[in-house]
Amino acid sequence: MKIIDPLTNPTAHGGNASDAFHLVIPSMPGYGYSGKPTTTGWDVAHIARAWVVLMKRLGYTKFVAQGGDWGAVIVDQMGLDAPPELFGIHTNMPGIFPNDIDKAAFSGAPAPSGLSADEKVAYERLQFVYQKGIAYGFQMGLRPHTLYGIADSPVGLAAYFLDHDARSYELISRVFEGKSEGLTRDDILDNITIAWLTNTALSGARLYWENWGKLGYFNAKGVSIPVAVSVFPDELYPAPRSWAEQAYPKLIHYNKLDKGGHFAAWEQPKLFSEEVRAGFRSLRKSLLGEDGGRAEREAA
């Protein structure tokens, strides 16, 4: 919600009219206001295909996609599928780790020799995520319905949601300590309340089960369409440019930000919106002309 106005009305937020977007913001099946899947099979690949069908049904013959967290895995899959209507993706949790590096981090092995300083930091952070940071992911990936005990408990959901990962917990807890930067108390409580009132804790957890052992989360997947990458310092790992260029041979934007974490669109909407505009600007010009498509819009 925080990025809707900056992206649709950029002149009110320091941008240019030519940077405006139409936005389609679906919630994933089983989450929030979406319906709960009644059959199995709603994995990342299925959702990625569904988003393309959705956009085509809405009449869009050219579009781009953006994602973070699960959305980042989905836009990677969309980029891998490369439907002709999709001209590029932007991600703030890029899948960039070479498969052997990803597997080594998962196993807990020491950092391989020959890594650059940036690559070593990314490796160590990913290793921490795998070894100590995503126990919740393993729980949901193996036994999602075992969480039924907290599904109707606001306190239980709060405890589970707040402890997402170590860095996100630090960014969240500072607000409850009276600091003003980042997410507010209402941001956190609203998010928990939506899951509670819609009873989607378990239906959302099932995505981990559906995707277990399939596409992967943080590994390079072979995306060949244009990709824009924004690196927020408190993301689960800071993606090195070297691995981003390998993972995305058509990398059109790469930028490291000074602040922001895993939930960047939520926590740092101004910086995030600026990154989305910048990330797609070159693509917009090549597709619609230097005026950002003014002639096309006027003709329509």
For residue 90, give the 3-state DSSP assignment.
strand
Distance of CA 24 to the CA centre of its chain: 15
Distance separating alpha carbons of residues 192 and 159, to the nearest angstrom: 10
Q: What is the CA radius of gyration of the chain?
A: 19
Look up residue 103 and give its two tokens: 């597997």
Please give the positions annotated as active site. Answer: 69, 208, 262
Distance separating alpha carbons of residues 227 and 137, to the nearest angstrom: 27
Length of the chain (residues): 300
Distance separating alpha carbons of residues 163 and 156, to the nearest angstrom: 11
Q: What angle do CA 55, 81, 291 make, to 5 degrees?
A: 55
The DSSP call for residue 129 is I
Distance separating alpha carbons of residues 203 and 62, to the nearest angstrom: 31
Of 230, 242, 235, nearest in space to 125 by CA: 235
For residue 286, what are the contacts with CB-CB under 8 A and spacing of at least 6?
Answer: none
- CB-CB contact of 154 with 192 (8 Å): yes
Cα 141 to Cα 134, 202, 242, 284: the distances in Å are 11, 11, 31, 38
